[in-house]
Amino acid sequence: MTTETNKKFNIDTVENAANTPDTELPWAELGLKQNEFEEIVKVLGRRPTGAELAMYSVMWSEHCSYKSSKNHLRQFGQKVTEEMKKDMLVGIGENAGVTNLGDGWAVTFKIESHNSPSFVEPYQGAATGIGGIVRDIISMGARPVAVMDPLRFGEIDHPDTARVMHGAVAGIGGYGNSLGLPNIGGEMVFDAVYQGNPLVNALAVGVMRHEDIRLANASGKGNKVVLFGARTGGDGIGGASVLASESFDDTKPSKRPAVQVGDPFAEKVLIECCLELFKGSLVEGIQDLGAAGISCATSELASNGDGGMQVELTDVLLRDPTLTPGEILMSESQERMMAVVTPENVEAFEAVMDKWAVEYAWLGEVTDTGRLIITWEGEVIVDVDPRTVAHDGPVYDRPYARPAWQDALQADTFTGSVQDAGRPAAPAELAAAVTELVASPNMCDKSWITKQYDRYVGGNTAMAFPDDAGVVRVDEETGLGVALATDANGRYTYLDPYNGAQLALAEAYRNVATSGAVPMAVSDCLNFGSPEDPDVMWQLAESIRGLSDACMELGVPVTGGNVSLYNQTGTTPIHPSPVVAVLGKLDDVARRTPSGWKEDGQAIYLLGTTANELDGSEWAKLRGHLGGLPPKVDLTAERQLGEILINASRDGMVDSAHDLSEGGLAAALVESSLRYGVGARIALEELLERDGVDLFTALFSESQARAIVSVPRSEEVRFKDMCTARGFAHLRIGVVDAASNALEINGVETLSLDALREAHEGTLPKYFG
Amino acid sequence: MPRIVVDVMPKPEILDPQGKAIVGALPRLGFTSFSAVRQGKRFELTVDGEVTDAILAQAREAAETLLSNPVIEDVVNVEVVEA
Amino acid sequence: MTELPLIGEAPVAAESRLNGARIGVVTFPGTLDDRDAARAVRLAGGTAVALWHADTELADVDAVVIPGGFSYGDYLRAGAISRFAPLMSKIIDAANSDAKLPVLGICNGFQILTESHLLPGSMIKNDHLKFLCRDQVLRVENNTTAWTADYEAGQEILVPLKNQDGQYIADDKTLDALEAEGRVAFRYVGFNPNGSRRDIAGITNAAGNVVGLMPHPEHAVEPGFGPESNSGTDGLGFFTSVLNKIVGGAK
């Protein structure tokens, strides 16, 4: 620990600010709007110092303050029943939500975005995205146990997509693998709308015992404040406020945010350090440093606790001695944590740091003044009410309105459109169509990506990609575990934001139930364009309204999440892409249900009903069409289906289950066959009759609340009776046929598994090597 | 303050996959004059004060025992650079 | 709670004639698979003992596992810094002593053993330059080592492989000697995942007590958590071999 030598800065002290009210300040360059600057002056009763201006500029940025979405996000906290609160140990507002698993276990999870940095510097952007979300999990007192990565990039054959793909996947693997966190699932979607605005969302999940739960607050006057981990440098200075305020616009001078560079070894050591601190009860409160670095950590810790803190900024350990106080406050250097420690625990705290060779600096202490005071060599450069920085920032009621083009878009249904001409009907045509579908970029095998991730580390991964949910064991004695799935559909949401968001939740909920787990909690990552565009703001408002309504109807609360706005190039936003993560509980992970069949002769059942719902489908995408209305949402049916799948899994009535979503029945049948390389014989005549659809529609429609299961002969009666008792549509559509090595569907030419596999697995290597 | 620079390269007989990837990438950016690339490491050791023969010898030994793996790497240069 | 504590002893395995055997598992800063190695020891019937890299004395253990991970972030070179840890010099002494302490280096552990010169050769980056995680078939070439006695010679096993710098290389003289002396312990079968010379996945020292390999047997010890295509427990043999040897049981 060293104190930096005197620097030659013109320190703008509070006293100086009070005496020089007319000094011009670069608030616009820092991303603040005029009204925001005036509000700061009003709050302080004087002009802000340079350091205070830096703090407010990052903390009041869109990314940190949620100023455009806060009004709408309230719905997640409002539309909650008592039943939903039952297992919520920590809700929205903390670093991550915490859910009770029973037996004294708790689980914490959250999904976040790191979009813009991943476009600028794919490897580091994606890597630090993982780093950031993992730190959120640690700061709740948990050991992180797994990560997931939903990715959305541009067209597969665009040269820039390869740049982003190679970098982002290597970065996620490079960072996650080095932390010892298995990657248990994710998504990969290619669509032109994400070309200039790739979406890299990262999810982390951690487990702890109830007594280990920690919160980010600073309480106890006289307790010490310590910053530990990596040294502070110039990473990401202004990153948060710049990102939130500017898009990648060709017409403006390029405003490249300084990208953060991650060091996963430093974070691994930090994880072990923190776990020892928690075990020894050596910290009263802890906060990780992410966007807005020290500005965020100090103001949030202070405002969540007793309200006051005093910090000497020259005590911060620097890796770049030329940083000004404002820059130190804004720096987004990675792998740093801030904690509050009682004087009695200081020695023990230092012992843990020394054991792991982690650097630390005692910056100050908690006070009862209700003010956050930061000094530079003893002179006060920041004197604010921390709540005004961290919580009471501006809140905007952005205007929004249903776009003028929405009606025409919804009227443009796929069926009968020019792109629908020549719809496959003959057996050979249908076979070709199925093969084309499973080879398409969004539906193809993703091993090129997933084999760059460690799925084994920790020894608790019970299920991972390509199954429907990632499953991690929590308790080695009892087999208690959690299942996770993330889903989103930008096309559905573009057609109908309210329903599209509900469909994302429905799909993730269904995926978790398909694995046999009971859905318990939700985390959301809302990726949208500019909130200053009324069309986009309408999409955001409708999506939040839809998602919050659906959460209440399905009884799963949002425990935390993230909003990423300004994902657009020029005036063209991405498709509204609310990514929904659902976490479920499995009493015994040994009972989890895989997504493919193995045993010859098992009966294959289709659960749910099929309608003509091709709008926004993968098939429509292949034909170049986007219009109409997304598939109907039926949350009651999703709940019923979930219960059937969970009970069937628990009682051993099914050996495999795979939910239907993008790509419909065709995709599900192929995936279930290729999973273990075991074919099947399928006959859909009864289905066509019952639901009044033709064979093509039965195969490619994306109707919701459906799943296919394979049922051992000995369980068939019991299974059918259960479905009948619940009044849920179920139909035997075929049988597992191990000898055929093919997927035989009546009316479709034979699909050899070898040919399907070649098509399915050949796509990503073809484009990415 | 003077520095001692140590350069470490993979042994000539070692196939260098990173160098191979780089030489493949250069032409794509318009650099067509390079037939081979090998990637090594450069270390800079700062000395407080004068670099004596003894200190230089220490640097050489550090280079052989820690900074390079003699199974696959050669120390190709050890020199003093004034700050 | 079944969490393995960082310091101190792991919970003792259920009643078994092997649980008197104590296998040390070393943790360096950045080690990742230490918990998994300890679990493998427990599942095989032995007692896992957590060892810390900075310890200056080797605790009373009958064998040592140096697990996988990214110790010291693989800075400088994988294993280059770890090999100088205080405990490593004790392990090296014990391995070279008359007692011939059995030492198993897995992945990063193998890298530490080559950097320490307990084993010849070195690992460089995978020839395709990427991290690769796959279930890999290995052939057990040498079943006379402390860690492979429970396998048949020529037996094929399925074990997860997951690394970025797993390409084993050595000069021809060394490779020829390894082959001639039967010191290639495992070979990649069907697919060479990283360009390793002569398809070598793991080797042993002349005495057969020090074995290093890049794949991870500790991830193939528990049904449902290892490779799917078979029992998923092909890796248990490493641990039962050494436990049996220690307890003096049947080969």
Cβ atoms C113, C168 nearer than 8 A: no
**Is it the case that residue C249 has pLDDT exceeding 90?**
no
- Domain spans of chain B? 3-81
The more confidently predicted of residues C20 and A1 is C20
> Is C1 near chain A, with CB under 8 Å?
yes
Angle at A692 between CA A690 and CA A698, to 5 degrees: 90
Residue A647: its pLDDT value, please? 97
Residue A5: its pLDDT value, please? 40
* CA closest to A456 among chain C residues: C219
Cβ atoms A493, A529 nearer than 8 A: no
pLDDT tens digits along A34-49: 999 999 999 999 999 9
The more confidently predicted of residues A253 and A343 is A343
| Domains of chain C, each with CATH number or no CATH | 22-247 (3.40.50.880)
Q: Phi, psi (5° rounding) for residue A279?
A: -60, -40
What's the average model confidence in pLDDT over A490-503? 98
Q: Phi, psi (5° rounding) for residue A581?
A: -110, 130
- Cα–Cα distance measured from residue C201 to residue A231, given in angstroms and rounded to the nearest whole number: 39
- Cα–Cα distance measured from residue C150 to residue A19, given in angstroms and rounded to the nearest whole number: 82
pLDDT tens digits along A130-179: 999 999 999 999 999 999 999 999 999 999 999 999 999 999 999 999 99
Residue B15: its pLDDT value, please? 79
- Interchain pair C114, B72: CB under 8 A: no
- Cα–Cα distance measured from residue B54 to residue B68, given in angstroms and rounded to the nearest whole number: 20
Q: Is the pTM of this model over 0.90?
A: yes
CATH topology of domain A594-769: Phosphoribosyl-aminoimidazole Synthetase; Chain A, domain 2 (3.90.650)
What's the average model confidence in pLDDT over A298-306? 88
pLDDT tens digits along C133-170: 999 999 999 999 999 999 999 999 999 999 999 999 99
Chains C and B lie in contact, requiring 3 or more CB pairs less than 8 Å apart: yes
Q: Which residues of B touch C120 (CB under 8 A)?
A: 71
Residue C119: its pLDDT value, please? 98
* Chain C from 136 to 155: CB within 8 A of any B CB: none
User: How far off is chain C from A206, nearest CA to CA, in Å?
Assistant: 14
Residue A290: its pLDDT value, please? 87
What's the average model confidence in pLDDT over A445-456? 98
Residue B83: its pLDDT value, please? 61
**Is it the case that residue A753 has pLDDT exceeding 80?**
yes
- Cα–Cα distance measured from residue A147 to residue A416, given in angstroms and rounded to the nearest whole number: 43
Q: Which residues of C touch B40 (CB under 8 A)?
A: none
pLDDT tens digits along A652-699: 999 999 999 999 999 999 999 999 999 999 999 999 999 999 999 999
* Chain B from 16 to 45: CB within 8 A of any C CB: 17-18, 21
What's the average model confidence in pLDDT over A181-192? 98
Q: Whole-number mean pLDDT of chain A? A: 93
Domains A1-60+215-393 and A594-769 alike in fold: yes
- Interchain pair C133, A455: CB under 8 A: yes
Residue A238: its pLDDT value, please? 57
Picking from C34, C94, C109, the residue whose alpha carbon sits closest to that of residue C58 is C94
CATH architecture of A85-213+445-592: 2-Layer Sandwich (3.30)
Residue the block writes with tokens 């409002």: A78
What's the average model confidence in pLDDT over C216-238? 96
Residue A545 CB: number of other CB atoms within 10 A?
A: 17
Residue A258: its pLDDT value, please? 58
- On the 0-12 / 13-18 / 19+ scale of CB atoms within 10 A, A157 is exposed
**Is it the case that residue A246 has pLDDT exceeding 70?**
no
Which site among C75, C77, C164, C194 would you substitute to test the B interface, given the most B Cβ atoms closer than 10 Å to its Cβ? Answer: C77
**Is it the case that residue A249 has pLDDT exceeding 70?**
no
Please name the chains neighbouring B, where neighbouring means 3+ C-beta pairs under 8 angstroms. C
Alpha-carbon distance values, C78 to A385, C91, C203, C217 (Å): 48, 18, 18, 20
- Cα–Cα distance measured from residue A318 to residue C113, given in angstroms and rounded to the nearest whole number: 36
Q: Whole-number mean pLDDT of chain C? A: 92
Omega within 30 of 0 (cis) for the link into A144 = no
Candidate list A72, A114, A575, A760, residue with the active-site label: A114
Which pair of tokens denotes residue A558? 């949002």
- Interchain pair C134, A451: CB under 8 A: yes
Which regions of A255-335 does DSSP assign to beta strands (E)?
Answer: 285-288, 308-312
Residue C145: its pLDDT value, please? 97
Q: Whole-number mean pLDDT of chain B? A: 92
CATH topology of domain B3-81: Mth169; Chain: A , (3.30.1280)
Percent of chain A with pLDDT over 90: 88
How many CA atoms are closer than 13 Å to the CA of C111, on its beta-carbon side?
31
State the DSSP H helix or E strand holding residue A71, giving kind and residue range, or none if neither.
helix A70-78
Q: Which residues of A touch C55 (CB under 8 A)?
A: none
Q: Which residues of B touch C193 (CB under 8 A)?
A: none
Mention every residue, 6+ apart, whose C-beta is less than 8 A from residue C99. Answer: none
According to CATH, the superfamily of the domain at A1-60+215-393 is PurM-like C-terminal domain (3.90.650.10)
Residue C169: its pLDDT value, please? 96
Residue A245: its pLDDT value, please? 33
| Banded pLDDT at A260 (limits 50, 70, 90) | confident
| Banded pLDDT at C16 (limits 50, 70, 90) | low
pLDDT tens digits along A579-629: 999 999 999 999 999 999 999 999 999 999 999 999 999 999 999 999 999
Conformational region of residue A110, where left means phi above 0, alpha means psi within -120 to 50, and beta covers everything else:
beta
Residue A9: its pLDDT value, please? 61
- Cα–Cα distance measured from residue A261 to residue A335, given in angstroms and rounded to the nearest whole number: 10
**Is it the case that residue A251 has pLDDT exceeding 50?**
no
- Cα–Cα distance measured from residue A101 to residue A108, given in angstroms and rounded to the nearest whole number: 10
Supply the residues of C annotated as catalytic.
107, 216, 218
| Beta pairing class for A285-288 and A360-367 | unpaired
User: How far off is chain A from C179, nearest CA to CA, in Å?
Assistant: 31
| Beta pairing class for A224-229 and A308-312 | unpaired
Residue C1: its pLDDT value, please? 37
What's the average model confidence in pLDDT over B21-34? 89
- Cα–Cα distance measured from residue A27 to residue A53, given in angstroms and rounded to the nearest whole number: 7
Q: Edge-to-edge, what's the strand order for the sheet holding C200-204?
A: C47-52, C22-27, C63-66, C103-106, C210-213, C200-204, C184-188, C132-140, C156-163
> Is C177 near chain B, with CB under 8 Å?
no
Residue A44 CB: number of other CB atoms within 10 A?
A: 19
Q: Where are the alpha helices (DSSP H) in A391-444?
A: 406-411, 427-439
**Is it the case that residue A97 has pLDDT exceeding 70?**
yes
- Interchain pair C124, B67: CB under 8 A: no
Residue B13 CB: number of other CB atoms within 10 A?
A: 9
- Domain spans of chain A? 1-60+215-393, 85-213+445-592, 594-769
- Interchain pair C129, B17: CB under 8 A: yes
Among this protein's residues, is A63 annotated catalytic? yes
| Banded pLDDT at A215 (limits 50, 70, 90) | confident
Residue C90: its pLDDT value, please? 97
- Cα–Cα distance measured from residue C207 to residue A475, given in angstroms and rounded to the nearest whole number: 40
- Cα–Cα distance measured from residue C164 to residue B31, given in angstroms and rounded to the nearest whole number: 29
**Is it the case that residue A569 has pLDDT exceeding 80?**
yes
Residue A324: its pLDDT value, please? 86
| Beta pairing class for A308-312 and A360-367 | antiparallel
| Banded pLDDT at A305 (limits 50, 70, 90) | confident
Identify which of C80, C114, C125 has the shortest CB distance to residue B66: C80
Q: Which residues of C touch A174 (CB under 8 A)?
A: 131
